[in-house]
Amino acid sequence: MSFYSVAPFIEKYYPEYYSIETYPVTECIPFCKVKEEWGVFSNFAPTPIQYDGITYKNVEQLFQMMKFTDKEVREKVYAAPNPKMTAKHYEKAHRRDDWGMIIVDAMKQCLQLKYGQSEEFRSALERSKGKYIVEDQSSYKKSWADTWGVKRQGNFYVGPNLLGRLLMELRDNGRLEFVPVSFRV
């Protein structure tokens, strides 16, 4: 398993989210690219969020920064045009030791902040009621969906769909239960 895979962390620390789900395509709201109809559900959607007095360009930037406690590394991730790839560069040497234990709480915290600060996001969630939300990774080169999404297989989307499940949980409850994550240690 790759160092960057989150599946082992989910299996160990968040077993309630460790599963493969199947959704009928006709009952789904798929999202992939931010410029598509449901792109606001993407963590890369340009929905700025504020946390701890700092504005982040999107959920992905904040989430990637949460992987680190080292201030210099966080600053490099913050300034990067692609925070995900920059974070990946520093992960092996600088990723916080407890990342696996807090990864889902970190994502929930980011999504809750987005929910509280983006009317566009809340409105899209409201419009999605009655449908499954899935991160469609069908166009990705790898043959399987990673932990966050699904791949289309005929008339179904199949995969862990962790991001979609968190979005549906947020939509249906108006909030997510999580232990707050701090990266200003």
The CATH number that applies at residue 43 is 1.10.357.40
81 vs 3, residue with greater confidence: 81
**Residue 144 belongs to some domain of the structure:** yes
**Residue 8 belongs to some domain of the structure:** no
Window from 46-50, 66-70, 133-137, 141-145 with minimum mean pLDDT: 141-145
**Residue 133 belongs to some domain of the structure:** yes
Tally of domains within the chain: 1
**Residue 89 belongs to some domain of the structure:** yes
List the domain range (segments joined by +) for residue 128.
Answer: 20-173
CA angle 60, 141, 158 (to 5 degrees): 80
**Residue 25 belongs to some domain of the structure:** yes
Largest CA distance in the chain: 47
**pTM for the predicted model, two decimal places:** 0.95
**Residue 15 belongs to some domain of the structure:** no
Beta strands 132-135 and 49-51, pairing class? unpaired
- Give the side-chain half-sphere CA count within 13 A for 10: 18
| 73, burial (CB in 10 Å: exposed 0-12, middle 13-18, buried 19+) | buried
Q: Within 10 Å of residue 118's Cβ, how many Cβ atoms?
A: 19
Q: How far apart are the first and last CA of the chain?
A: 29
**Residue 61 belongs to some domain of the structure:** yes
For 60-77, how does the pLDDT look when each residue is reduced to its tens digit (9 = 90+)?
Answer: 999 999 999 999 999 999
For 80-92, how does the pLDDT look when each residue is reduced to its tens digit (9 = 90+)?
Answer: 999 999 999 999 9
**Residue 13 belongs to some domain of the structure:** no
Mean pLDDT for 39-67 is 97
